Structure 1
Amino acid sequence: MKALTTLLVAVALWPMAAQAATSEQQFALKGVGRLSCTQFLTERAAGSDLYWNIGGWIDGYASAYNAYVPETYDISPHAPGTAADTFSVFLAKHCEQHPQDPIGLVLKSLLERLHAIRVTDRSEVTTVAVDGKTYQVYASVLAHVQQALIRDGYYDGTMDGKFGPKLQAALSKFQADSGMPANGAPTEATMVRILFADLSSDSATR
């Protein structure tokens, strides 16, 4: 079975994208986006008020991306809810290796990386219950996940964007192989890890 590239490796290795706005590829960072990675990690470890303010800023940044980037309904693969929890994990992993980077540029680079697998149109939201917990996922994202799992030998069902026993079993196998809790739940961490691996695989074949 083809091994999928792990999320943490993908995050650690992503290049800082060119920062657009002026002809010199410069733009002005505002607010907490100017904080360094070191400051972000310090506030995150403390669970400070500033850290929660950063979470609100992340959600605002993602919402603005959705509003102003053409053919973008949602840059976050999980629906509906907050983007801050998952994106904060991405920021932390990057910041551990690049302590001087400003978090505004790191988040911009992350969203540009996610752009290829964004939700482009309004999609039906599927509610899934696993082990007493409910998860809301875009049907279009589930179809993308099914496609990746089919390609990598985890799933032999249809690519219909629906959650059922076959997809749950495939997710459970993927989670076990990735060292994650393996109950087949479509957690945000699982979905994003699969989507990042899918993006890395697509890039490698170009």
Structure 2
Amino acid sequence: MRLNSLCRALFPIAASASICLGTAPVHAADAGNGFAVRGLGSQACSAYVSALSKPDEFARYGNWLMGYATAHNRLLPDTYDIIPTEPGVDFPNVVAVICRTNSQMLLETAASSAVTAIKPLRQAASSPLVVVSADGKSVSIHQESLKRLQAALIAKQVFKGAATGTPSPQFTDALKVFQRREAIPVTGLPDIDTFIRAIVKH
């Protein structure tokens, strides 16, 4: 992911721009605006960024982040899954984008900011997983999430098919056109960067 462009796409309004500049909204659990942070979430973002190039260390952080996302799935209203795409890669990548610009921020705070950024993409109810393939690579995605992305690309006059939640060569081509237009990696796959730019970015 390209750091500066994704940061602008994640936080397009002034009230949220502070996340990219080194601060994040505070969510408090007690009267004194504080709560205990457990496990890897209590470490600084710099430790997480350092772990990105070390597979074993990164796996530990990734597991913590998946637990964090699961807790939000359980606690947020009208939420089956806060992550519309493959969570094992995409959610940690969004957290990494935030951490790279906020090295002293707690990992938990960065993860909370990531949840806030992608909340508009959340899936409200369960739907089947479908496999989308392009150029020898594949991802699994909830059908309803794919339908939302197709509808967004139709609205942007990029995809001329129907929003059925079914992959097709025409949809893959439309994704590539949109990705080129947005100057992001052209994969033909519905990754989190593409979702953010198609649905969240205005």
TM-score (norm 2): 0.81
Q: Which residue of 2 aligns with 1:177?
A: 181
Structure 1 residues 123 and 93, CA gap change in structure 2 (3 angstroms): same
Kindly indicate whether the alpha-carbon contact (under 8 Å) linking 1:73 and 1:121 is maintained by their aligned counterparts in 2.
yes
* 1:57 Cα deviation from its structure 2 partner: 0.3
> How far apart, CA to CA, are the structure 2 residues paired with 1:157 and 1:58?
36
Structure 1 residues 43 and 194, CA gap change in structure 2 (3 angstroms): closer
Task: Select which of 41, 49, 67 maps to 1:41.
Answer: 49
* 1:153 Cα deviation from its structure 2 partner: 2.3
Q: Which residue of 2 aligns with 1:168?
A: 172
* 1:177 Cα deviation from its structure 2 partner: 2.5
* 1:180 Cα deviation from its structure 2 partner: 4.2
Kindly indicate whether the alpha-carbon contact (under 8 Å) linking 1:123 and 1:139 is maintained by their aligned counterparts in 2.
yes
| SS of aligned partner of 1:149 | helix
> How far apart, CA to CA, are the structure 1 residues paired with 2:179 and 2:73?
29
Runs of 4 or more consecutive aligned structure 1 residues displaced over 6 Å after TM superposition = none
Q: Percent identity at matched positions? A: 26
Q: How many residues are paired up?
A: 189
Kindly indicate whether the alpha-carbon contact (under 8 Å) linking 1:148 and 1:194 is maintained by their aligned counterparts in 2.
no
Q: Which residue of 2 aligns with 1:195?
A: 195
Q: Which residue of 1 aligns with 2:71?
A: 64
Structure 1 residues 113 and 182, CA gap change in structure 2 (3 angstroms): closer
* 1:92 Cα deviation from its structure 2 partner: 2.2
> How far apart, CA to CA, are the structure 1 residues paired with 2:165 and 2:28?
35
* 1:91 Cα deviation from its structure 2 partner: 2.2
Letter in 2 for 1:121: A
Letter in 2 for 1:129: S
TM-score (norm 1): 0.80
Question: What whole-Å deviation, never above 9, does each CA across 1:154-194 have from its counterpart, x for those lacking one?
Answer: 112222222123211110111222344535233x2xxx223
> How far apart, CA to CA, are the structure 2 residues paired with 1:25 and 1:101?
17
> How far apart, CA to CA, are the structure 1 residues paired with 2:141 and 2:56?
29
> How far apart, CA to CA, are the structure 2 residues paired with 1:24 and 1:118?
30
Question: What whole-Å deviation, never above 9, does each CA across 1:109-129 have from its counterpart, x for those lacking one?
Answer: 211222222011011221233
